[in-house]
Amino acid sequence: MLDPRYPSQTPARIPIAIALIQFAVFFIALSPLALVPLMQADATYYFETWIEPEPGDTATQYMLEHSYVELGLIGVGVVLLLVLAIVSAVGLHKGKRSARILTAIWVGILVVGAIGWESWVWIWSSSLGEDLESASAGKFSGAQYYMDALDLNIPVAAATLVLALLVFILVLTPAVRRWTPKRSYVVFAGQQAPTAGAQFGPPQQAQFPPSDQRQF
């Protein structure tokens, strides 16, 4: 049982840092959806500039036929991140120490992922910049979609990185640690748990075998 001589230092009100974490983890979980417009723009650009489509073919059909693996990975990733976000948000609200540890782990991994995402988008944008500008001048709508999608992914990746860093720092702050303490239980001195077969009630007089009874 909890020792009343050592009162809990858990705050009476939920820290505002918990609310910030709850908002941030859901944004982080949904952020990979920004890759879908980029894939659509990529398919439209190449569909218009590099291939000779059959009558009736569309850029969306081209994307679904050639990028279904990538789309599936994005979908699975978003679902997994949403599950982690829900577990973290609910667990932290209830003051679960395990939720704080879990959040620090998966958000810490995503910090590295967000750095790679931001770097990849910047490199991609720089390498395709001139080609996209010339294609856009040639009235290829896919080139403009491509530039718009890159312009969307750059700030989304940056925001994901910033929020992931913020969450990782917040879960280590004293306020959040006090809200999600390690539960310690102590046994009072002299207190003994009842054992199997223990008798409760008034003490009974000892019974002696007939051979040990003394005659008075």
- Nearest one of 9, 11, 8 to 185, comparing CA atoms: 8
Mean pLDDT of 38-60: 73
Residue 203 has pLDDT above 90, yes or no: no
User: Residues 150, 124: contact at Cβ < 8 Å?
Assistant: yes
- Helix (H/G/I), strand (E/B), else coil: 35: helix
What one-letter code names the amino acid at 4? P
- Dmax of the chain from CA atoms? 125
User: Residues 29, 78: contact at Cβ < 8 Å?
Assistant: yes
Q: Give the tens place of pLDDT for each residue, 152-190.
A: 999 999 999 999 999 999 999 999 999 998 875 444 444
User: How far apart, in whole angstroms, are the C-alpha atoms of residue 193 and residue 39?
Assistant: 64
Q: Give the tens place of pLDDT for each residue, 110-139.
A: 999 999 999 998 888 777 766 666 655 555
User: How far apart, in whole angstroms, are the C-alpha atoms of residue 172 and residue 139?
Assistant: 52
